[in-house]
A and B are shown apart, each in its own frame.
Chain A
Protein backbone atom coordinates (compact mmCIF):
# COMPACT_ATOMS: atom_id res chain seq x y z
CA UNK A 1 0.00 0.00 0.00
CA UNK A 2 1.30 3.42 -0.90
CA UNK A 3 0.63 6.48 1.19
CA UNK A 4 -2.75 7.66 0.06
CA UNK A 5 -3.14 11.29 -0.84
CA UNK A 6 -5.54 13.09 1.48
CA UNK A 7 -8.12 13.42 -1.28
CA UNK A 8 -8.71 9.66 -1.32
CA UNK A 9 -12.07 8.85 0.25
CA UNK A 10 -11.45 7.66 3.79
CA UNK A 11 -11.58 4.08 4.90
CA UNK A 12 -14.92 2.67 3.63
CA UNK A 13 -16.44 1.91 7.04
CA UNK A 14 -15.96 5.52 8.06
CA UNK A 15 -17.43 6.85 4.85
CA UNK A 16 -20.57 4.77 4.97
CA UNK A 17 -21.46 5.19 8.60
CA UNK A 18 -23.12 8.37 9.80
CA UNK A 19 -20.18 10.73 10.40
CA UNK A 20 -19.54 11.93 13.95
CA UNK A 21 -16.51 13.96 13.03
CA UNK A 22 -15.97 15.74 9.74
CA UNK A 23 -12.83 17.77 9.20
CA UNK A 24 -12.42 19.55 5.88
CA UNK A 25 -9.42 21.56 4.69
CA UNK A 26 -8.36 22.42 8.23
CA UNK A 27 -5.26 24.63 8.31
CA UNK A 28 -3.55 26.40 11.16
CA UNK A 29 -0.40 28.40 11.68
CA UNK A 30 0.91 29.49 15.07
CA UNK A 31 1.32 33.22 15.69
CA UNK A 32 5.07 32.83 15.08
CA UNK A 33 4.29 31.65 11.56
CA UNK A 34 4.97 27.96 12.13
CA UNK A 35 2.46 25.97 10.09
CA UNK A 36 1.05 23.18 12.23
CA UNK A 37 -1.80 22.03 9.98
CA UNK A 38 -2.01 22.49 6.25
CA UNK A 39 -5.27 21.08 4.98
CA UNK A 40 -6.49 18.17 7.09
CA UNK A 41 -9.42 16.13 5.76
CA UNK A 42 -10.88 13.39 7.94
CA UNK A 43 -14.25 11.74 8.47
CA UNK A 44 -14.94 9.43 11.36
CA UNK A 45 -18.16 7.40 11.50
CA UNK A 46 -20.24 6.68 14.58
CA UNK A 47 -18.86 3.80 16.63
CA UNK A 48 -15.45 3.75 14.93
CA UNK A 49 -12.21 3.50 16.86
CA UNK A 50 -9.47 5.36 15.00
CA UNK A 51 -5.81 5.76 15.87
CA UNK A 52 -4.16 9.05 14.96
CA UNK A 53 -0.47 8.38 14.39
CA UNK A 54 2.43 10.56 13.47
CA UNK A 55 5.87 11.67 14.67
CA UNK A 56 6.40 14.45 17.19
CA UNK A 57 5.61 17.80 15.65
CA UNK A 58 3.24 16.39 13.04
CA UNK A 59 0.42 18.53 14.41
CA UNK A 60 -1.51 15.90 16.36
CA UNK A 61 -2.04 17.98 19.49
CA UNK A 62 -2.94 21.05 17.43
CA UNK A 63 -5.54 18.96 15.63
CA UNK A 64 -6.99 17.69 18.93
CA UNK A 65 -7.31 21.23 20.27
CA UNK A 66 -9.30 22.15 17.15
CA UNK A 67 -11.82 19.39 17.77
CA UNK A 68 -13.39 21.13 20.76
CA UNK A 69 -12.67 24.69 19.76
CA UNK A 70 -9.82 25.45 22.17
CA UNK A 71 -8.04 26.60 19.02
CA UNK A 72 -10.29 28.24 16.48
CA UNK A 73 -10.05 27.06 12.88
CA UNK A 74 -8.41 29.70 10.70
CA UNK A 75 -9.15 27.92 7.43
CA UNK A 76 -11.36 24.92 6.84
CA UNK A 77 -14.00 23.50 9.13
CA UNK A 78 -14.63 20.95 11.85
CA UNK A 79 -18.12 19.52 12.40
CA UNK A 80 -19.13 17.23 15.24
CA UNK A 81 -22.38 15.36 14.76
CA UNK A 82 -23.24 17.89 12.06
CA UNK A 83 -22.65 20.89 14.32
CA UNK A 84 -19.89 23.30 13.30
CA UNK A 85 -17.15 24.03 15.83
CA UNK A 86 -17.50 27.78 16.27
CA UNK A 87 -17.93 30.25 19.10
CA UNK A 88 -21.72 30.14 19.24
CA UNK A 89 -21.75 26.33 19.69
CA UNK A 90 -18.82 25.88 22.03
CA UNK A 91 -20.81 24.65 25.04
CA UNK A 92 -22.56 21.94 23.01
CA UNK A 93 -19.34 21.07 21.13
CA UNK A 94 -17.49 20.53 24.39
CA UNK A 95 -20.22 18.21 25.55
CA UNK A 96 -20.01 16.22 22.31
CA UNK A 97 -16.22 16.01 22.22
CA UNK A 98 -14.59 14.51 25.30
CA UNK A 99 -10.86 15.14 25.40
CA UNK A 100 -8.70 13.12 27.78
CA UNK A 101 -5.37 14.89 28.13
CA UNK A 102 -2.04 13.18 28.50
CA UNK A 103 -1.23 14.18 32.08
CA UNK A 104 -4.06 13.17 34.42
CA UNK A 105 -2.77 15.75 36.92
CA UNK A 106 -3.81 18.43 34.45
CA UNK A 107 -7.27 16.97 34.16
CA UNK A 108 -8.03 16.08 37.77
CA UNK A 109 -8.06 19.23 39.87
CA UNK A 110 -10.87 18.79 42.38
CA UNK A 111 -10.53 17.53 45.93
CA UNK A 112 -12.19 14.16 45.35
CA UNK A 113 -12.69 11.80 42.42
CA UNK A 114 -16.46 12.26 42.70
CA UNK A 115 -16.27 16.07 42.55
CA UNK A 116 -13.91 15.85 39.61
CA UNK A 117 -16.14 13.56 37.57
CA UNK A 118 -19.09 15.82 38.44
CA UNK A 119 -17.26 18.92 37.17
CA UNK A 120 -18.14 18.46 33.48
CA UNK A 121 -21.82 17.51 33.84
CA UNK A 122 -22.27 20.34 36.38
CA UNK A 123 -21.00 22.78 33.81
CA UNK A 124 -23.72 21.39 31.54
CA UNK A 125 -26.31 22.21 34.20
CA UNK A 126 -26.88 18.66 35.47
CA UNK A 127 -27.73 18.62 39.18
CA UNK A 128 -29.04 16.42 41.98
CA UNK A 129 -29.86 12.75 41.54
CA UNK A 130 -29.12 12.74 37.82
CA UNK A 131 -25.66 14.15 38.47
CA UNK A 132 -24.97 11.45 41.04
CA UNK A 133 -26.17 8.74 38.62
CA UNK A 134 -23.98 10.04 35.82
CA UNK A 135 -20.93 10.27 38.06
CA UNK A 136 -21.33 6.74 39.39
CA UNK A 137 -22.07 5.33 35.94
CA UNK A 138 -18.95 6.91 34.50
CA UNK A 139 -16.84 5.64 37.39
CA UNK A 140 -18.37 2.18 36.97
CA UNK A 141 -17.43 2.13 33.30
CA UNK A 142 -13.77 2.61 34.19
CA UNK A 143 -13.89 0.37 37.25
CA UNK A 144 -13.19 3.17 39.73
CA UNK A 145 -16.53 3.38 41.57
CA UNK A 146 -14.94 2.32 44.87
CA UNK A 147 -12.62 5.31 44.77
CA UNK A 148 -15.25 8.04 44.47
CA UNK A 149 -14.37 9.74 47.74
CA UNK A 150 -10.60 9.55 47.44
CA UNK A 151 -8.53 12.59 46.52
CA UNK A 152 -7.10 12.11 43.01
CA UNK A 153 -3.48 12.55 44.12
CA UNK A 154 -3.76 9.49 46.34
CA UNK A 155 -4.46 7.22 43.36
CA UNK A 156 -1.90 5.38 41.27
CA UNK A 157 -1.04 6.82 37.88
CA UNK A 158 -3.07 4.18 36.04
CA UNK A 159 -6.06 4.82 38.27
CA UNK A 160 -5.79 8.55 37.67
CA UNK A 161 -5.72 7.97 33.92
CA UNK A 162 -8.92 5.91 34.18
CA UNK A 163 -10.60 8.57 36.34
CA UNK A 164 -9.60 11.13 33.70
CA UNK A 165 -11.48 9.01 31.16
CA UNK A 166 -14.49 8.92 33.52
CA UNK A 167 -14.50 12.72 33.89
CA UNK A 168 -15.18 12.91 30.17
CA UNK A 169 -17.57 9.92 29.95
CA UNK A 170 -19.80 11.63 32.53
CA UNK A 171 -20.52 14.26 29.89
CA UNK A 172 -21.87 11.54 27.57
CA UNK A 173 -19.73 12.60 24.62
CA UNK A 174 -20.30 11.53 21.02
CA UNK A 175 -16.60 11.14 20.44
CA UNK A 176 -13.87 10.36 22.94
CA UNK A 177 -10.49 11.86 22.08
CA UNK A 178 -7.53 10.37 23.93
CA UNK A 179 -4.11 12.02 23.88
CA UNK A 180 -1.44 9.36 24.41
CA UNK A 181 -3.64 7.15 26.61
CA UNK A 182 -0.95 4.54 27.25
CA UNK A 183 1.94 6.89 28.06
CA UNK A 184 3.67 6.30 31.40
CA UNK A 185 1.46 3.30 32.22
CA UNK A 186 2.91 0.04 33.48
CA UNK A 187 1.92 -2.98 31.36
CA UNK A 188 -0.90 -4.04 33.72
CA UNK A 189 -2.44 -0.54 33.84
CA UNK A 190 -2.02 -0.32 30.08
CA UNK A 191 -4.00 -3.53 29.63
CA UNK A 192 -6.64 -2.46 32.16
CA UNK A 193 -7.17 0.78 30.26
CA UNK A 194 -7.43 -1.18 27.00
CA UNK A 195 -10.15 -3.36 28.57
CA UNK A 196 -12.01 -0.23 29.66
CA UNK A 197 -11.76 1.38 26.22
CA UNK A 198 -12.84 -1.77 24.39
CA UNK A 199 -15.94 -2.05 26.58
CA UNK A 200 -17.07 1.51 25.82
CA UNK A 201 -19.83 2.04 23.33
CA UNK A 202 -18.51 5.33 22.00
CA UNK A 203 -16.58 6.63 18.99
CA UNK A 204 -12.88 6.92 19.82
CA UNK A 205 -10.06 8.94 18.30
CA UNK A 206 -6.80 7.94 19.92
CA UNK A 207 -3.60 9.95 19.46
CA UNK A 208 -0.65 7.68 20.14
CA UNK A 209 2.95 6.70 19.52
CA UNK A 210 2.20 3.27 20.93
CA UNK A 211 1.66 1.39 17.66
CA UNK A 212 0.91 -2.03 19.20
CA UNK A 213 -1.75 -0.33 21.32
CA UNK A 214 -3.23 1.27 18.22
CA UNK A 215 -3.33 -2.13 16.53
CA UNK A 216 -4.92 -3.73 19.56
CA UNK A 217 -7.70 -1.16 19.95
CA UNK A 218 -8.28 0.59 16.64
CA UNK A 219 -9.33 -1.14 13.41
CA UNK A 220 -8.51 2.04 11.48
CA UNK A 221 -5.42 4.23 11.59
CA UNK A 222 -4.72 7.70 10.22
CA UNK A 223 -1.20 9.08 9.86
CA UNK A 224 -0.62 12.79 10.17
CA UNK A 225 2.54 14.09 8.51
CA UNK A 226 3.58 17.69 8.01
CA UNK A 227 0.16 18.94 8.91
CA UNK A 228 -2.00 16.73 6.72
CA UNK A 229 -3.46 13.24 6.60
CA UNK A 230 -0.97 11.22 4.59
CA UNK A 231 -2.17 7.67 5.23
CA UNK A 232 -5.63 6.37 6.10
CA UNK A 233 -6.54 2.70 6.20
CA UNK A 234 -6.91 -0.47 8.26
CA UNK A 235 -4.35 -0.38 11.08
CA UNK A 236 -2.76 -3.69 10.07
CA UNK A 237 -2.16 -2.40 6.53
CA UNK A 238 -0.81 0.92 7.75
CA UNK A 239 1.63 -0.73 10.14
CA UNK A 240 2.86 -3.31 7.63
CA UNK A 241 3.57 -0.85 4.82
CA UNK A 242 7.28 -0.49 5.50
CA UNK A 243 7.99 2.22 2.94
CA UNK A 244 5.25 4.49 4.21
CA UNK A 245 6.17 3.77 7.83
CA UNK A 246 9.76 4.82 7.16
CA UNK A 247 8.65 7.89 5.21
CA UNK A 248 6.59 9.09 8.16
CA UNK A 249 9.07 8.33 10.93
CA UNK A 250 6.94 5.57 12.43
CA UNK A 251 8.64 2.55 13.95
CA UNK A 252 7.35 -0.63 15.50
CA UNK A 253 9.02 -2.07 18.59
CA UNK A 254 11.82 -4.47 17.69
CA UNK A 255 10.47 -7.95 17.03
CA UNK A 256 6.85 -6.82 16.82
CA UNK A 257 5.05 -8.17 13.76
CA UNK A 258 1.53 -6.81 13.23
CA UNK A 259 0.73 -9.75 10.92
CA UNK A 260 1.02 -12.34 13.65
CA UNK A 261 -0.87 -10.35 16.26
CA UNK A 262 -4.59 -10.90 16.33
CA UNK A 263 -6.11 -7.51 16.94
CA UNK A 264 -9.22 -7.96 19.07
CA UNK A 265 -10.68 -4.56 18.32
Chain B
Protein backbone atom coordinates (compact mmCIF):
# COMPACT_ATOMS: atom_id res chain seq x y z
CA UNK B 1 0.00 0.00 0.00
CA UNK B 2 1.62 3.25 -1.09
CA UNK B 3 2.27 5.67 1.72
CA UNK B 4 0.43 8.91 1.17
CA UNK B 5 3.61 10.89 0.65
CA UNK B 6 5.77 8.09 -0.68
CA UNK B 7 7.79 8.94 -3.76
CA UNK B 8 8.80 5.75 -5.43
CA UNK B 9 11.84 7.15 -7.21
CA UNK B 10 12.23 10.81 -6.41
CA UNK B 11 14.89 11.76 -3.89
CA UNK B 12 14.38 15.15 -2.30
CA UNK B 13 17.56 17.24 -2.26
CA UNK B 14 18.88 20.56 -3.48
CA UNK B 15 21.57 20.07 -6.08
CA UNK B 16 22.45 21.60 -9.45
CA UNK B 17 21.01 18.47 -11.03
CA UNK B 18 17.70 18.89 -9.18
CA UNK B 19 17.53 22.48 -10.38
CA UNK B 20 18.43 21.78 -14.02
CA UNK B 21 15.49 22.12 -16.46
CA UNK B 22 13.73 18.76 -16.73
CA UNK B 23 13.49 18.74 -20.52
CA UNK B 24 17.28 19.21 -20.84
CA UNK B 25 17.86 16.40 -18.37
CA UNK B 26 15.48 14.20 -20.34
CA UNK B 27 17.32 14.95 -23.62
CA UNK B 28 20.67 14.30 -21.92
CA UNK B 29 19.38 10.97 -20.60
CA UNK B 30 18.17 10.00 -24.06
CA UNK B 31 21.46 11.00 -25.69
CA UNK B 32 23.49 9.18 -23.05
CA UNK B 33 21.46 5.97 -23.35
CA UNK B 34 21.57 5.98 -27.14
CA UNK B 35 25.33 6.55 -27.11
CA UNK B 36 25.85 3.70 -24.65
CA UNK B 37 23.69 1.34 -26.68
CA UNK B 38 25.36 2.32 -29.96
CA UNK B 39 28.91 1.79 -28.68
CA UNK B 40 30.25 -1.51 -30.09
CA UNK B 41 30.97 -4.18 -27.50
CA UNK B 42 34.62 -4.65 -26.71
CA UNK B 43 35.40 -0.92 -26.53
CA UNK B 44 35.85 -1.23 -22.80
CA UNK B 45 37.71 2.05 -22.40
CA UNK B 46 34.64 3.87 -23.81
CA UNK B 47 32.38 2.14 -21.27
CA UNK B 48 34.80 3.08 -18.50
CA UNK B 49 34.51 6.66 -19.69
CA UNK B 50 30.68 6.53 -19.60
CA UNK B 51 30.76 5.07 -16.11
CA UNK B 52 33.06 7.86 -14.99
CA UNK B 53 30.75 10.53 -16.45
CA UNK B 54 27.74 8.90 -14.82
CA UNK B 55 29.53 8.59 -11.46
CA UNK B 56 30.40 12.28 -11.44
CA UNK B 57 26.81 13.22 -12.37
CA UNK B 58 25.52 11.06 -9.49
CA UNK B 59 28.04 12.66 -7.13
CA UNK B 60 26.81 16.08 -8.30
CA UNK B 61 23.18 15.08 -7.70
CA UNK B 62 23.85 14.20 -4.03
CA UNK B 63 21.66 11.13 -4.36
CA UNK B 64 23.29 8.55 -2.05
CA UNK B 65 24.33 5.20 -3.51
CA UNK B 66 22.32 3.34 -0.88
CA UNK B 67 19.22 5.06 -2.28
CA UNK B 68 19.97 3.99 -5.86
CA UNK B 69 21.26 0.49 -5.12
CA UNK B 70 18.00 -1.20 -4.05
CA UNK B 71 16.19 0.39 -6.99
CA UNK B 72 18.70 -1.21 -9.35
CA UNK B 73 16.73 -4.42 -8.78
CA UNK B 74 14.50 -3.49 -11.74
CA UNK B 75 17.43 -4.70 -13.85
CA UNK B 76 17.20 -8.26 -12.47
CA UNK B 77 15.41 -9.85 -15.47
CA UNK B 78 18.10 -8.55 -17.83
CA UNK B 79 20.84 -9.84 -15.57
CA UNK B 80 19.24 -13.28 -15.51
CA UNK B 81 19.03 -13.23 -19.28
CA UNK B 82 22.64 -12.04 -19.59
CA UNK B 83 23.81 -14.87 -17.28
CA UNK B 84 22.03 -17.41 -19.48
CA UNK B 85 23.72 -16.21 -22.65
CA UNK B 86 27.09 -17.93 -22.02
CA UNK B 87 25.24 -21.21 -21.38
CA UNK B 88 22.93 -21.05 -24.37
CA UNK B 89 25.27 -19.36 -26.88
CA UNK B 90 27.00 -21.03 -29.84
CA UNK B 91 30.70 -21.89 -30.27
CA UNK B 92 33.59 -21.39 -29.99
CA UNK B 93 33.40 -22.68 -26.45
CA UNK B 94 35.75 -22.24 -23.52
CA UNK B 95 36.14 -24.36 -20.43
CA UNK B 96 35.72 -22.36 -17.19
CA UNK B 97 35.53 -24.10 -13.81
CA UNK B 98 34.31 -27.29 -15.45
CA UNK B 99 31.58 -25.57 -17.47
CA UNK B 100 31.60 -25.39 -21.22
CA UNK B 101 30.66 -21.78 -22.02
CA UNK B 102 30.14 -20.00 -25.29
CA UNK B 103 32.76 -17.35 -25.88
CA UNK B 104 30.49 -14.97 -27.90
CA UNK B 105 27.84 -15.60 -25.25
CA UNK B 106 30.15 -14.40 -22.49
CA UNK B 107 30.99 -11.32 -24.48
CA UNK B 108 27.34 -10.55 -25.34
CA UNK B 109 26.23 -11.15 -21.74
CA UNK B 110 28.91 -8.88 -20.35
CA UNK B 111 27.99 -6.17 -22.85
CA UNK B 112 24.31 -6.51 -21.98
CA UNK B 113 24.99 -6.17 -18.27
CA UNK B 114 27.28 -3.18 -18.80
CA UNK B 115 24.90 -1.33 -21.12
CA UNK B 116 21.88 -2.20 -19.01
CA UNK B 117 23.48 -1.09 -15.77
CA UNK B 118 24.61 2.22 -17.26
CA UNK B 119 21.15 2.86 -18.70
CA UNK B 120 19.26 1.90 -15.56
CA UNK B 121 21.56 3.91 -13.33
CA UNK B 122 21.24 6.99 -15.56
CA UNK B 123 17.43 6.65 -15.60
CA UNK B 124 17.27 6.23 -11.83
CA UNK B 125 19.42 9.33 -11.37
CA UNK B 126 17.08 11.24 -13.68
CA UNK B 127 14.05 9.98 -11.77
CA UNK B 128 15.65 10.73 -8.41
CA UNK B 129 16.33 14.36 -9.35
CA UNK B 130 13.10 15.11 -11.27
CA UNK B 131 9.55 15.04 -9.88
CA UNK B 132 6.87 13.30 -11.89
CA UNK B 133 5.14 16.64 -12.54
CA UNK B 134 8.38 18.02 -13.97
CA UNK B 135 8.74 14.99 -16.22
CA UNK B 136 5.23 15.53 -17.59
CA UNK B 137 5.93 19.22 -18.17
CA UNK B 138 9.21 18.31 -19.88
CA UNK B 139 7.40 15.96 -22.27
CA UNK B 140 4.89 18.69 -23.08
CA UNK B 141 7.77 21.09 -23.72
CA UNK B 142 9.46 18.61 -26.01
CA UNK B 143 6.26 18.61 -28.09
CA UNK B 144 5.24 15.06 -27.33
CA UNK B 145 1.64 14.82 -28.65
CA UNK B 146 -0.67 16.31 -26.02
CA UNK B 147 -2.93 13.26 -25.96
CA UNK B 148 -0.01 11.05 -24.91
CA UNK B 149 1.12 13.55 -22.30
CA UNK B 150 -2.41 13.72 -20.94
CA UNK B 151 -2.66 9.96 -20.69
CA UNK B 152 0.66 9.83 -18.86
CA UNK B 153 -0.32 12.55 -16.43
CA UNK B 154 -3.55 10.69 -15.66
CA UNK B 155 -1.59 7.53 -15.07
CA UNK B 156 0.65 9.31 -12.59
CA UNK B 157 -2.26 10.99 -10.88
CA UNK B 158 -4.22 7.79 -10.37
CA UNK B 159 -1.39 5.33 -9.75
CA UNK B 160 -1.46 6.05 -6.05
CA UNK B 161 -5.25 6.06 -5.87
CA UNK B 162 -5.37 2.65 -7.54
CA UNK B 163 -2.56 1.20 -5.41
CA UNK B 164 -4.27 2.42 -2.25
CA UNK B 165 -7.52 0.91 -3.44
CA UNK B 166 -5.80 -2.41 -4.15
CA UNK B 167 -4.14 -2.25 -0.74
CA UNK B 168 -7.57 -1.94 0.85
CA UNK B 169 -8.87 -4.87 -1.20
CA UNK B 170 -5.92 -7.01 -0.10
CA UNK B 171 -6.50 -6.12 3.54
CA UNK B 172 -10.17 -7.05 3.17
CA UNK B 173 -9.19 -10.36 1.56
CA UNK B 174 -6.63 -11.11 4.26
CA UNK B 175 -9.22 -10.31 6.90
CA UNK B 176 -11.31 -13.10 5.48
CA UNK B 177 -8.50 -15.61 5.59
CA UNK B 178 -7.01 -15.28 2.10
CA UNK B 179 -3.22 -15.28 2.04
CA UNK B 180 -1.95 -13.68 -1.20
CA UNK B 181 1.40 -15.51 -0.90
CA UNK B 182 -0.24 -18.91 -0.91
CA UNK B 183 -0.55 -20.21 -4.50
CA UNK B 184 -3.81 -21.91 -3.57
CA UNK B 185 -5.30 -18.45 -3.12
CA UNK B 186 -4.00 -17.08 -6.40
CA UNK B 187 -7.29 -17.64 -8.24
CA UNK B 188 -8.98 -15.35 -5.72
CA UNK B 189 -6.15 -12.86 -6.16
CA UNK B 190 -6.64 -12.95 -9.93
CA UNK B 191 -10.35 -12.26 -9.51
CA UNK B 192 -9.54 -9.33 -7.25
CA UNK B 193 -7.32 -7.93 -10.01
CA UNK B 194 -10.29 -8.25 -12.33
CA UNK B 195 -12.44 -6.39 -9.84
CA UNK B 196 -9.75 -3.72 -9.58
CA UNK B 197 -9.78 -3.35 -13.35
CA UNK B 198 -13.55 -2.85 -13.34
CA UNK B 199 -13.26 -0.30 -10.55
CA UNK B 200 -10.57 1.59 -12.47
CA UNK B 201 -12.71 1.52 -15.57
CA UNK B 202 -15.69 2.92 -13.64
CA UNK B 203 -13.51 5.55 -12.04
CA UNK B 204 -12.30 6.50 -15.50
CA UNK B 205 -15.90 7.08 -16.52
CA UNK B 206 -16.61 9.18 -13.42
CA UNK B 207 -13.50 11.28 -14.04
CA UNK B 208 -14.61 11.79 -17.61
CA UNK B 209 -18.05 12.96 -16.46
CA UNK B 210 -16.38 15.33 -13.98
CA UNK B 211 -14.21 16.69 -16.82
CA UNK B 212 -17.19 17.18 -19.13
CA UNK B 213 -18.95 18.99 -16.30
CA UNK B 214 -16.15 21.51 -16.30
CA UNK B 215 -16.42 22.21 -19.99
CA UNK B 216 -13.90 19.68 -21.34
CA UNK B 217 -14.44 19.12 -25.04
CA UNK B 218 -11.47 16.97 -26.01
CA UNK B 219 -7.72 16.72 -25.91
CA UNK B 220 -7.29 19.95 -27.89
CA UNK B 221 -8.16 21.98 -24.79
CA UNK B 222 -4.79 20.71 -23.71
CA UNK B 223 -2.79 20.19 -20.60
CA UNK B 224 -1.81 23.28 -18.76
CA UNK B 225 1.79 23.92 -17.79
CA UNK B 226 1.82 24.22 -14.03
Contact = CB atoms under 8 A, between A and B. Distances in A.
Question: A and B from one assembly?
Answer: yes
A120 B215 contact: yes
A211 interface: no
A154 B133 contact: no
Nearest to B216: A123
Contacts of A120: 214-215
B215 A124 contact: yes
B226 A109 contact: no
Contact of B157 (A91, A95, A98, A111): A111
Interface in A147-176: 149, 151-154, 167-168, 171
B224 A109 contact: no
A94 B157 contact: no
A105 interface: yes
Contacts of B222: 122
B210 A106 contact: yes
Contacts of B212: 70, 94
Interface residues of B, number: 28
Among B156, B161, B209, B210, which residue has the most Cβ atoms of chain A within 10 A? B210
Contacts of A154: 4-5
Interface string A172-208: 0000000000000000000000000000000000000
A122 B4 contact: no
A72 to B, nearest CB: 12
Contacts of A105: 158, 161, 203
B160 interface: yes
Main SS at interface, chain B: helix
A118 interface: yes
B215 A123 contact: yes
B157 A109 contact: yes
A123 B217 contact: yes
Contacts of B224: 110, 115, 118-119, 122
Contact of B214 (A114, A119, A153): A119
Which of A94, A103, A109, A114 has the most chain B CB atoms closer than 10 A to its own CB? A109
Interface string B201-226: 00100110111111111000110101
Interface string A79-101: 00000000000010011011101
B214 A94 contact: yes
Interface in A94-148: 94-95, 97-99, 101, 103, 105-107, 109-112, 114-115, 118-120, 122-124
Nearest to B206: A106
B153 interface: yes
Contact of A168 (B136, B158, B160, B214): B214
A110 B215 contact: no
A135 to B, nearest CB: 10
What are the nearest 6 A-B pairs in CB distance? A123-B215, A120-B214, A111-B133, A106-B206, A115-B226, A99-B213
Interface of A: 65, 68, 70, 91, 94-95, 97-99, 101, 103, 105-107, 109-112, 114-115, 118-120, 122-124, 149, 151-154, 167-168, 171
5 contacts: A65-B209, A91-B215, A105-B203, A151-B157, A171-B215
